[in-house]
Amino acid sequence: MVAASEGGKGGKYVVILGPKWRLHYYAHLDEITTKPFTLVSHDTVIGTVGNTGNAATTPAHLHYSIATLVPYPWRIDDAPVGWQKMFYLNPIEYLDK
């Protein structure tokens, strides 16, 4: 695991460095049960689902994303933040493999 913290829009969050230098981001956690720079595996409990950060008035849920440290420039488009798309991967496509 790379980072675990709380604050900002994501509330309590965890970032895990996975295979192929991909960052897995878990936000709005109620409790973080791991520590930075700890090795985790697919069955490690890293936290519990919550509604921290800007989700304080919503039911408990999880925001999950996958980012790549190696940019994919062909993913850029004309959207207002289209340049950021080169760093974010569709979790469904990635996890279905």
More confident residue, 2 or 10: 10
Distance CA 19, CA 54 (A): 30
Does this model's pTM top 0.85?
Answer: yes
Distance CA 42, CA 53 (A): 26
What is the tens place of the pLDDT at every residue in 5-23? 888 899 999 999 998 899 9
Asked whether the beta carbons of 13 and 48 are under 8 A apart, the reply is no
Looking at residue 74, which CATH number applies to its domain? 2.70.70.10
Question: How many structural domains are present in the chain?
Answer: 1
Domain region containing 80 = 3-95
The pLDDT, as a whole number, for residue 1 is 76
When pLDDT is cut at 50, 70 and 90, the band that residue 4 belongs to is confident
The yes-or-no verdict on residue 97 having pLDDT over 80 is no
The pLDDT, as a whole number, for residue 11 is 95
What is the tens place of the pLDDT at every residue in 22-70? 999 999 999 999 998 999 998 999 999 999 999 999 999 999 999 999 9
Residue 43 tokens read as 């069955």
